[in-house]
């Protein structure tokens, strides 16, 4: 029963993330089809939700600290990266990563994150980034729901790093 609740919690979190991803910042014309799609998914997921899952989601959401597990600016990330124990994960697609990425970042596309948990070290701080912040936020939330406590996102993401004139590596 506990495992089922855990899976439902993850499903609900992902549904909420996807809903935010497709609904935030879009015009009502482009958001409408996504909203209809997500409403069906959300209703199916909510029908399965038990009070325990709801309380776990509530516990997770209320435990989010100010700053929401984020590194707010390029200087903050640069300071963190002075520590060789920090892991840096680029959650963009491999084609994006090959065109340029922050030095020493490993590439684990968001859609494959749960299949590559062995590359995310639980006992060291990890920072996720993407192109604009959406995918890294979903990745951070997913990893926190899976029990990873040392994970942060970098909302300025690759675009902010590049705009600041910082070093970029391509492979």
Q: 78 and 58 share a domain?
A: no
**pTM score over 0.75:** no
Q: 103 and 137 share a domain?
A: yes
Q: 53 and 123 share a domain?
A: no
Average pLDDT (20-27) is: 39
pLDDT digits (tens, 9 = 90+) for 150-168: 899 999 999 999 999 999 9
Question: Cα separations (Å) of 42 from 19, 21, 45, 59?
Answer: 9, 14, 5, 20
Last-in-domain residue among 31, 62, 93: 62
**Centroid of chain to Cα 20:** 12
Q: 7 and 52 share a domain?
A: yes
Q: 20 and 82 share a domain?
A: no
Q: 30 and 107 share a domain?
A: no
Q: Is residue 115 part of a domain?
A: yes
Counting DSSP H helices and E strands in the chain, the numbers are 7, 4
Last-in-domain residue among 62, 84, 110: 62
pLDDT digits (tens, 9 = 90+) for 42-67: 444 444 556 787 888 777 777 766 65
Q: Total domain count for the chain?
A: 2
Please give the residue range of the domain that contains residue 89.
74-163
């Amino acid at each position: 029963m506990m495992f089922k609740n855990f899976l439902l919690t993850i499903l609900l979190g992902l549904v909420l993330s996807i809903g935010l991803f497709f609904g935030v910042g879009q015009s009502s014309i482009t958001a409408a089809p996504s909203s209809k799609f997500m409403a069906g998914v959300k209703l199916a997921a909510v029908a399965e939700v038990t009070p325990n899952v709801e309380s776990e989601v509530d516990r997770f959401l209320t435990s989010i600290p100010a700053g929401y597990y984020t590194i707010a600016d390029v200087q903050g990330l640069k300071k963190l990266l002075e520590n060789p124990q920090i892991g840096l994960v680029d959650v963009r697609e491999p084609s994006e990563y090959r065109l340029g990425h922050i030095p020493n970042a490993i590439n684990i596309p968001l859609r494959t994150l749960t299949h590559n948990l062995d590359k995310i070290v639980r006992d060291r701080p990890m920072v996720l980034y993407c192109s604009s912040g959406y995918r890294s936020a979903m990745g951070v939330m997913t990893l926190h729901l899976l029990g990873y406590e040392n994970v942060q996102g970098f909302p300025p993401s690759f675009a902010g790093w590049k705009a600041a004139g910082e070093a970029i590596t391509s492979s």
